[in-house]
Structure 1
Amino acid sequence: MKLKYLLLTLVFVTAFSCDKDESNYELVDVATPQIMSKAEFRKSVSITTPRAIENAGKIYAYKDYIFVSDLNKGVHVIDNSNPKFPKKIKYLKIPGNEDISVKNDFLFADSATDLLVFDISNINSISLKERLEDVFYVYNFQIPLGVSFVDYKEFNSQTEIIVGWTVTKERREKIDTRFIDMMFDGVALNSASESSTTGQGGSLARFQIVNNYLYTVGSHEMIIFNISNLSQPTLANTLYAGNNIETLFQAAGYLYIGSTDGMYIYDLVNPENPARLSEFVHWTGCDPVVVDGDYAYLTLRGGNNCGQQESVLEVIDIKDKTKPTLAARYTLDNPYGLGIKNNTLFICDGTAGLKLFNKEDPLNLYMTNQFKNIQSKDVIPLEDKLLMIGGETLYQYIYVQNGVQLISSLDLK
């Protein structure tokens, strides 16, 4: 999406230099990036006292701590040693952040184009240990919804970072965006059990740690870091991974990548150069994926920027990793993340709340419980409890017979 808009700028400039027929013009919303030099941007990382969250994103669990992202702004640290009374204790100001992963008290976080490494061995004295600059070619600078044009002409991607947007009404020539979408469809960027302690993210994660490697995905690329030396990771490889990548899940030596177009399966026989084994294609829709045994479970959310089809859960038979096939499909309302604990499949169905399904027979799922009147976005099924984020609230449940029971909810505002 970001690359598409960058290329569209050239199309727009060309179009404006030609036809001056007034009937071809209209008043539209134009977004202009607010920019900051990379030098200043990199000075803005800090560790501070807790603050109210603005836009709750993803969750991550590590030891007795829960990390909640404040989309593109930073990470809130929550002491969860007593799950009945979780407490916000720190805030990591990390501009341009979307994801984190933790291994052996080292926290890895993206910051727009950079990868940061924090030492969290002493949670009261967190320190920044390393920064790998310009390792992410694509980052999420959140183009405002509803704008018709994006004007990048004053932006230098080599020396500057987009930190916000100014939207104005301007007279612009009408453009057939259907033709533009066809022009840039499919644009590619060429660019195991351990004794260690690794945290756990939800199904919306784009970071995964497997042994001595950190795997990350952007909109079209996979970037792999060797983290054998946790405080000094090195860039191992960058490769094209697929179209419109959104999520990354790892299980039993394989990576499962969720995109708006399908699910990709990669093996990790060569950890620095994963091999694509197959692709399962579906209609356009937002697509997190989790895996359990011989089946992958993915939700497809229709509407808005996610596509125009219905919202469903798809169950994919992956016994043969080279030939994934659709095994079952179930209708949902507005699904986001999902997770699995034993024979229970947890689905965050947006405004329809949290839904629990019995998956003893993956081809005949049935709902066993539903928690309505809450907004649900993603879950992490831990060994002893279930974490869920929804709206600006962190929920925690304990497992009980035939379901889960709420033990606490923390307002993050």
Structure 2
Amino acid sequence: MRVIVLGAGIVGVTSAYQLAKAGHTVTVVDRQKGPALETSFANAGEVSFGYCSPWAAPGIPMKALRLLFMKHAPLILRPKIDGAMLSWLLKMLSNCTSERYALNKSRMLRLADYSRIALAALRNETAIEYDQRMQGTLQLFRTRAQLDASAKDVKALAADGIPYEVVDRDACARIEPALTYVRDKIVGGLLTPKDETGDCFKFTSALATKAEQLGVRFSWGAEIRGLDIEAARVRGVVTNGEMIPADAVVVALGSYSPLLLKCHGIKLPVYPVKGYSLTIPITDPSRAPESTIMDETYKIAITRLGDRIRVGGMAEISGYTNDLGLARRSTLEHSVMDLFPGGDVKEATFWSGLRPMTPDGTPTIGHTKIAGLFLNTGHGTLGWTMSSGSARVIADLVSGRKPEIDATDLAVSRYA
């Protein structure tokens, strides 16, 4: 079949690769000049198969209010007259129950664990290098209350058979030797040893080259004007340069997916939540992380990428804005220098990207009410983590095959 993939971020490129492997003729359309130049460009670098939870959780509404007023706030809300923002926030609040949290986390862990297997297979068959490490994620707790609150995550990990270890401060220092210098600032941690790290931009760029070798065509600098739909079936994609015919279209446009779909009667509750990152050259390896640390206090990931430290996090709900606030940079610098002062922050590169968040945390993957139109979007902060499994699922669905995992509750129909 002729398949068009809209979007060349990590999700779009992995989808294109798997669709080409399945024997389809694939075209990828993107407005940028190359792959992974938006949200996938400088994300936190963590591939977190175990550290994988919905933001909507019991107690979050009150906790969010406290976070908003912290000096180095991990959550920033810029309210505006925006029906989509209000609708998304209300839907998210409706998922802040114990029952919904358990259901949503189970879905996410199912897809994340499948992605772990899929990424390993992809790495073996392509031999792609992307500053990868396989040393796990250490969620770091600075207070006893944070450590106690991790019990609900431990319960979910145990229920889904995801390896984990609750560790004390001495074990944290053994896992990440640089923490020896700051051990008095922590009380313990939660280790998920199967997690990985890597440069998402490097990976996506290398995989795009492999996809081209399989026959995938990339249409760069193409503005998507709309979908060509006739008799409730997709016929192609209209861009500023051409009308591209297709038998199937996969929408992998991240936060911009609902803007394209709205005029076709598909209500997709995906909203942009901006995240920030710093990329810092390492000057003292002994004071730098070995893998990924999740600083629970500031909700910031600190990751080793070769000779660099990538510091990423925060959640700013402000619509489709991509400005760089100096206060956000200050928070990233505070977190990393408090724990790992082994880099030169003066030489850091500051970046922001729009994460496509669903109100329940689970991405939207599968069929729509329009024949031949598929979605693979809404991965939030976990696009890098879930991309390989999501790509396999969408390739199976487009090909008319049953996916290797249950994907029925991943489709947009779950919001009906």
TM-score by length of 1: 0.23
User: Rg: which structure is higher?
Assistant: 1
TM-score by length of 2: 0.23
Q: Which has the higher contact order (CA 8 A, sep 6+)?
A: 2
Bigger helix share: 2
